[in-house]
Each structure stands twice: as C-alpha cells, then as structure tokens.
Amino acid sequence: MHLLRSKVIALTCLFFCASQTTLSAAETLVTEDNPPFNIVNFKTGEITGIATEKVQELMRRADEKYTISAYPWSRAVQMTQNNSDTCAFSTTRTPGRENLYKWIGPLIKNNWVIFARADDTRHPKNIDDLRTYVIGSYRNDAKAEYFSLKGIDTDLANADADNPRKLIAGRFDFWASGELHGMELLKQQGLTKLIVPLFTFNQVDMYLACNLSMAQEKVDKWNMILKNMEKDGTSSAIEKKYK
C-alpha cells in the first residue's frame, strides 16, 4: 500500500510539473493602445493593428501558445524586463535599449513628427529649433529618451492619448508623436483642425522586444519567420489593410 501511494504521488507530481511547464512555455505578449500599430477595442478587449496582426501570424507560424494583453506602456516595459517568456510590442529599438531585450523584427517603420497648435505662429523647422521649448511626450517612450539625450525639455504624460488636449491647453509648446499614431489620435479626438504636423524629425524601426532569458534559438527562428513573411507578401498585405 505504501508503495502504491508513493507511485500515485509521483505520478501526480509528474503530471502537475508537466502542466506547469506547459503553462510557463506560453508566450506573454504585452502592448499598448498605439493605433494603427496596436489598436485596443476597450469595449470588447480585442487587440488589432498592423504590428498586432504581424505578431499573431508570427506566433501561428511558430506554433506558439500565447496571450496578448494591453497595458500602459510603462507597465508593459516593466513586465517584459522582469518576467521570462514575455515580449512587448511595438518597441522602438534604440542604442539605450539595445542590451535590455532580445529583438525580433523589425515589425514596421515609424516616422516621428512634431505637432503644433494650428494657431501657433511659431514654426520650428528642425530639432535645433526646439531647444528653447518644452515638448510633450509620454513615460518610457523612445521619443522622450531621444529628447533627453539632446538636452531638450519634455513634459511626460502617462499615455500619448493625453497629449493632444495638453497641447491645446498650453501645458507644453509642441507635441512629438508617431506620424500615423498622432494623426489617428487627432481624428479620434476631433482635433484635426486644431493641431497640425510641422515636420518629421526621425524614422525608427519598431520591434517585438523580449525578455533577455529567451533562448537565442527561438529568437533566430522568429526572426527568420518574419523575413519569410516579408518575402511572401504577408507583411505587405497586412499593412495595406490599414491604409
């Protein structure tokens, strides 16, 4: 009887441990509401967008189990850095972030644009012209890091969606955002006539950024799948859906 009980316990433990291993192997993918790259439907919880669809197709081809959840970007970044099997998108790859993640991509290119109030008579034309002004951005965003390195003052919101109204209210001088994302926010908030783009100041690549514990073999596999998606026209087809 004692031997039988021992075998049952051993088998139960084996099953439990195997189940835990299976669960831990599922990829936790985190993102933010950043249309058109990542679009969160706050009524249904559905997440779509250019980068989201590419990541979903990547996971399908890699035969990976995964979840996708949306958070404020600061939390998504913290989760990715602290938890294994966790990746955040769409993450701008910068020198300051290079050693913080394993990188899959690029998923898409993103133009960074300076926006101004339509009635503002000041018309800076380049980054050097911004040095005497305060620029609106948001916490843990690559653009905020970019301005900090250049010694340009920023006012940081919790989310980029807060910045159009802050610009209208005069909380800062100009607003820096992604071109497509910024225009989408203005459209959603009915501000396309009150806020206008001034100039593009940078173009960056956006990636799936993963916890450093990810096996290099998996990183290489996923990057190869993304390259194949580019070659076979899948990535282009996804981008066209959002134009």
Q: How do the pLDDT tens digits run along the chain, 243 residues long?
A: 433 333 333 333 333 333 333 334 589 999 999 999 999 999 999 999 999 999 999 999 999 999 999 999 999 999 999 999 999 999 999 999 999 999 999 999 999 999 999 999 999 999 999 999 999 999 999 999 999 999 999 999 999 999 999 999 999 999 999 999 999 999 999 999 999 999 999 999 999 999 999 999 999 999 999 999 999 999 999 999 988
* Residue 169, in any domain of the structure: yes
The confidence score (pLDDT) of residue 1 equals: 40
CA dist list (Å): 153 to 108, 135, 174, 175, 178? 28, 6, 11, 12, 18
The confidence score (pLDDT) of residue 243 equals: 81
166/131 same-domain check? yes
DSSP state, residue 135: E
CA-based torsion, 85, 242, 236, 107: positive or negative: negative
32/46 same-domain check? yes
The confidence score (pLDDT) of residue 25 equals: 59
* Residue 15, in any domain of the structure: no
The confidence score (pLDDT) of residue 10 equals: 37
Question: Euclidean distance between the first and final Cα of the chain, in Å?
Answer: 69
Residues 54/108, Cβ–Cβ less than 8 Å: yes
82/119 same-domain check? no
Would you put residue 111 in left (φ > 0), alpha (ψ -120 to 50) or beta? beta
Radius of gyration of the chain from Cα atoms?
21
85/57 same-domain check? yes
* Residue 14, in any domain of the structure: no
Residues 99/166, Cβ–Cβ less than 8 Å: no
105/116 same-domain check? no
211/199 same-domain check? no
Number of domains in the chain: 2
Q: How far is 68 from 37, CA to CA, in rounded Å?
A: 14
Residues 6 or more apart whose CB falls under 8 angstroms from that of 145 comprise: 94, 96, 97
* Residue 166, in any domain of the structure: yes
The confidence score (pLDDT) of residue 23 equals: 39
192/86 same-domain check? no
* Residue 52, in any domain of the structure: yes
Three-state DSSP state, 175: strand
* Residue 6, in any domain of the structure: no
Q: Which residue has the tokens 């936790």?
A: 28
211/101 same-domain check? yes
118/186 same-domain check? yes
180/115 same-domain check? yes
199/211 same-domain check? no
174/222 same-domain check? no
- Find the domain containing 33 and state its range: 20-109+207-237
Task: Report the CATH number at residue 42.
Answer: 3.40.190.10
